[in-house]
Amino acid sequence: MDGVHTLNSAAFVRLELDSASKSPTISAMNVLVTGGAGFIGSHVCEQLLLEGHRVTALDNFDPYYPPERKRRNIETALQSRNYRLVEGDYGDRLAVSKLLQADRFDAVLHLAAQAGVRLSIRDPLKYERVNVGSLVALLEALREFGPQRIVAASTSSVYGNTTPVPFREDAPCLQPLSPYAATKRAAEIFLGTYAQLHGFKVIILRPFTVYGPRQRPDMAIASFARKILLNEPLTLYGDGSSARDYTFVSDIVAGMLAAVFKFPVEFGVYNLGGNTPVSLKELVAALERAIGKKARVAAAPMQAGDVERTCADISKARQDLGYVPAVGLTEGLEKTINWVKGELRHEGHAA
């Protein structure tokens, strides 16, 4: 399909948007979204398109989970003339430089990363290479060819277990519990360095346990819902008291786009959370109620790298970005479960 291009340093197809694809909206922007085919990225791209903006999604379809799931994520976006998918690695500096020269972007929304706490413990070198080394390559390309306006996704995992609850953005974040969290904190520091040295405008966002349709299959809510529906046992790590500030994906998208459009500061860090921590036991009970079926539960010790509790102080995001989470857990679980049922039907299950 003509909306898909391959990004590499040997050959690059210039992106040409015909006049019919340009939004008539005066304030329309042209945004580069890294990780644009992923869980959050695909939702962000769709919302940008709905608001009349031009979007280039850059994604390498890493096999961390089945790439065909990501391709289903972008089926709607690919129908828009304002959307282009570029398949490639954001850490390929030469290829990204060519992309930046071929099209004038107003901002970069950097969502691409190697995600997953447990895998990072098994393969920390890959996480350092992707989340830190590739970011520096991207920043170098942006330093030369712009734009130097970046909104970047970090993670609530940077707070570790030593930060007082609720987590504030000015916490030192000195003891992340996993290589994943450590690399994301390092990425934040590099972004701050480039803002200081090269005049980048940078906003760093720390999302808190995002869930909803298209959620990665290794994340708790999608995984638990699937197992309950299929009558498979699910494993609870620890005594069930660990808690997460679950945040529905549409709220995260709203916060991210507010950062892109408002850009209230030259450099800033903002939490994007649901503002209501839920324990693991409470989450399973809520899923059971929503599905109408009891879970088969197996207990296991708390895993290395997992934090005990996350809780976002969102007062700064509320003040500067107008961020107000609107989707509560009951509504969010219902939407997520409906999506999981659709995925199961796609796979041939009677859900």
- What does the domain layout of the chain look like in residue ranges? 4-208+249-273+311-326
Q: Higher model confidence: residue 26 or residue 301?
A: 301
**Residue 180: active-site member:** yes
**Is 186 in contact with 133 (CB distance < 8 Å)?**
no
pTM exceeds cut of 0.85:
yes
Superfamily covering domain 4-208+249-273+311-326? NAD(P)-binding Rossmann-like Domain (3.40.50.720)
At 299, the pLDDT band (50, 70, 90 cuts) reads confident
Write out pLDDT tens, residues 90-101.
999 999 999 999
Q: Higher model confidence: residue 13 or residue 287?
A: 287
Residue whose pair of structure tokens reads 């997520």 in the numeric block: 336
Q: How many CB atoms lie within 10 A of CB 267?
A: 14
- pLDDT of the residue at 3: 64
111 has a pLDDT exceeding 50: yes
Q: From CA 7, how far away is CA 119, in angstroms rounded?
A: 27
- pLDDT of the residue at 17: 32
Catalytic option among 90, 127, 159, 180: 180
At 325, the pLDDT band (50, 70, 90 cuts) reads very high
Q: Write down the mean pLDDT value for the chain.
A: 91
- DSSP states of 40-58: HHHHHHHHHHHTT-EEEEE
The H or E element that residue 100 is part of is: helix 93-102
Write out pLDDT tens, residues 5-62.
666 543 333 233 333 333 334 389 999 999 999 999 999 999 999 999 999 999 999 9
Distance of CA 283 to the CA centre of its chain: 21
Write out pLDDT tens, residues 302-315.
788 788 899 999 99
State percent of the chain over pLDDT 90. Answer: 82
Residue count of the chain, please give it: 351
**Is 187 in contact with 154 (CB distance < 8 Å)?**
yes
- pLDDT of the residue at 267: 97
**Is 155 in contact with 178 (CB distance < 8 Å)?**
no
Of 15-19, 120-124, 148-152, the one with minimum mean pLDDT is 15-19
The pLDDT of 334-350, averaged and rounded, is 93
Structure tokens at 262: 């408002």
- pLDDT of the residue at 351: 61
- pLDDT of the residue at 107: 97
Q: From CA 276, how far away is CA 311, in angstroms rounded?
A: 7
**Is 234 in contact with 293 (CB distance < 8 Å)?**
no
Write out pLDDT tens, residues 192-241.
999 999 999 999 999 999 999 999 998 999 999 999 999 999 998 888 88
- pLDDT of the residue at 21: 35
- Which residue from 227, 278, 292, 270 is spatially nearest to 248, judged by alpha carbons? 278
2 has a pLDDT exceeding 70: no
